[in-house]
Amino acid sequence: MLTGSGGNIGFSIGDDGVLMIDSQFAPLEPKIRAALAKLTEEKPKYLVNTHWHGDHTGGNAAFSPDALIVAHENVRTRLIKGGRGNGPAVKEALPGITFNDSVSFYFNDEQVEVLHLPNGHTDGDSIVIFHGSKVVHMGDHFFSGRFPFIDPQSGGSVEGYLKNLEKVLEETPKDWKIIPGHGPLSFYKDLKNALNMMQVTSALVKERVAAGKSLEEVVKAGLPSEWDSWSWGFIPTERWLETLYNAHTKN
């Protein structure tokens, strides 16, 4: 796992070569290569994108001369379309292989399963399950210890995100390591805490909406102080409350 200014990168390194998960931002390429060079002389053979956002795919073109890019079909579609401050991606940045439900690599003596989770963070997210190493890379279905970003304009939803987290927690053994899209290396209990935070705060906003509160009132009421530490620069408490309000008032 590599942390930096974009989404966390995961590597599988072994006799078959290097498989890389996500590519952060283009200007970070030299730093990423330098970090990788400390571990192996090989360049990445495969690059898996967990979803289309620029902080996870910005380095795609820089790695694609050597690496075959693999992602869910909607990652390719949304990269071609552009958005969120990015123009249409160059051809070199696009996944050359796409899938709809899942795809497995049999690589470095284990099954590496890339599994699509529908309409959570976006409509093109996947998690990457290392069945031998007992590790899951969650992409942006996990912001460890902080409020998550959910992107309805890219097909994401609070409801889908919750369902996806429940499914992953049901299927992941408790002793596995969990790589979040953002935040430190985490464990089962951390992912469980994230789900719990979402369930509790979502139920609270649902009650307020049912009581006829406006967005302004919901935001002004804030959250109990136990959730203060989940607030961060990109998704402060106000924005998280707005996300939940919008989720409970759509339709």
Which positions touch Zn ion (CB under 5 A)?
53, 140
The whole-angstrom separation of Cα 108 and Cα 118 is 28
Shortest Å distance, C-beta 139 to Zn ion: 7
Q: Tell me the sheet residues that pair with 125.
A: 117
The smaller minimum CB distance to Zn ion, of residues 24 and 201, is found at 24
Shortest Å distance, C-beta 121 to Zn ion: 6
The smaller minimum CB distance to Zn ion, of residues 9 and 218, is found at 9
The smaller minimum CB distance to Zn ion, of residues 182 and 208, is found at 182
Shortest Å distance, C-beta 7 to Zn ion: 6
Shortest Å distance, C-beta 181 to Zn ion: 6
The whole-angstrom separation of Cα 150 and Cα 167 is 18
Q: How far is CA 173 from CA 33, 168, 203, in A?
A: 32, 10, 27
Shortest Å distance, C-beta 141 to Zn ion: 9
The smaller minimum CB distance to Zn ion, of residues 107 and 161, is found at 161
The smaller minimum CB distance to Zn ion, of residues 110 and 140, is found at 140
Shortest Å distance, C-beta 212 to Zn ion: 33
Structure tokens at 209: 């909406």
Question: How does 28-62 read in b/e, with b if 16+ C-beta sit within 10 Å?
Answer: bbeebeeebeeeeeeebbbbbbbbbbbbbbbbbbb
Q: How far is CA 144 from CA 138, 181, 195, 211, 232, in A?
A: 10, 8, 10, 31, 11
The whole-angstrom separation of Cα 89 and Cα 94 is 7
The whole-angstrom separation of Cα 238 and Cα 219 is 6
The smaller minimum CB distance to Zn ion, of residues 53 and 208, is found at 53
List, in order, residues 6 or more apart from 34 with CB less than 8 Å away: none
Nearest to 135 by CA among 178, 182, 173: 178
